[in-house]
């Protein structure tokens, strides 16, 4: 069975994507710095087709060996807020370079990247700039890379996101602002998985 490789699978969106992939009967490998989230106890997290790898994405010796027979690589690595220790370059742009290099070396695989529709005021323009830079990098590979550009992704695991979703939903009712319509994390995960060809 071909593998679905999820970079950043232990994150907010990543966990839901992994769960949806397992629900669809896929073989899933999550690669992240944390491995399996310690606070997750749902049955799917220990499914025989779910593998959690704790690895440094910038050290391919730690994770590349788990990517044999990769059908799709999904890049969900990212941060919302930049700091001196955590830059958008390191957590958004550089992982996209790694996926692009992997796809160039594995022409049988395709890619999926979750970008963003806009830069929320709290994050600033540099966030969106990094997302667009990552998109440009991934568009250079010969095989298809699907790019998702959601607005605010919200869910109960992030209470603040649910609070922000209501006013954004109200604004998005205007036709010219429909592109900022928030999306539930479960819905986004389903859309991502449904986009994967059989």
Convert the pLDDT of each residue in 110-159 to its tens digit.
Answer: 999 999 987 766 557 899 999 999 999 999 999 989 999 998 888 887 76
Let me know how long the chain is.
198
Beta bridge partner(s), residue 114:
148
Listed in sequence order, the residues at least 6 apart from 130 whose beta carbon sits closer than 8 Å to its beta carbon are: 88, 89, 92, 93
Residue 160: per-residue pLDDT: 72
Domain ranges of the chain: 3-151+185-194
Nearest 10 degrees: CA dihedral of 107, 35, 52, 113?
Answer: -30
- Across-strand partners of 31? 7, 53
How do residues 22-80 score in pLDDT, each as one tens digit?
999 999 999 999 899 888 788 999 999 999 999 999 999 999 999 999 999 999 999 88
**pLDDT range class, residue 186, cuts 50, 70, 90:** very high
Structure tokens at 131: 């997302």
Q: Two tokens at 42?
A: 């749902």
For position 168, what pLDDT does the model report? 67
**DSSP string for residues in 6-19:** EETTTSHHHHHHHH
**According to the model, what pLDDT value does residue 122 have?**
59
Report, at the CATH architecture level, how domain 3-151+185-194 is classified. Answer: 3-Layer(aba) Sandwich (3.40)
């Amino acid at each position: 069975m071909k593998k679905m490789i999820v970079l950043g699978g232990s994150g907010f969106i990543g966990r839901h994507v992994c769960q949806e992939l397992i629900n669809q009967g896929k073989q899933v490998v999550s690669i992240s710095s944390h491995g399996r989230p310690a606070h997750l106890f749902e049955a799917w997290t220990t499914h025989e087709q779910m593998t959690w790898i704790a690895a440094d994405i910038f050290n391919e010796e730690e994770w590349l060996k788990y990517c044999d027979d990769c059908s799709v690589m999904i890049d969900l690595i990212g941060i919302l807020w930049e700091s001196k220790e955590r830059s958008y370059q390191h957590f958004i742009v550089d992982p996209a370079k790694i996926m692009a290099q992997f796809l160039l070396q594995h022409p049988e695989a395709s890619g999926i990247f979750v970008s963003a529709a806009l830069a929320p005021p709290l994050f600033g323009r540099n966030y969106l700039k990094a997302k667009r830079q990552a998109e440009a990098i991934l568009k250079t590979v010969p095989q298809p890379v699907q790019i998702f550009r959601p607005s605010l992704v919200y869910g109960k695991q992030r209470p603040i996101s649910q609070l922000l979703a209501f006013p954004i939903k109200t604004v998005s009712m205007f036709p010219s602002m429909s592109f900022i319509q928030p999306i539930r994390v479960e819905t986004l995960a389903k859309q991502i998985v449904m986009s994967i060809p059989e």
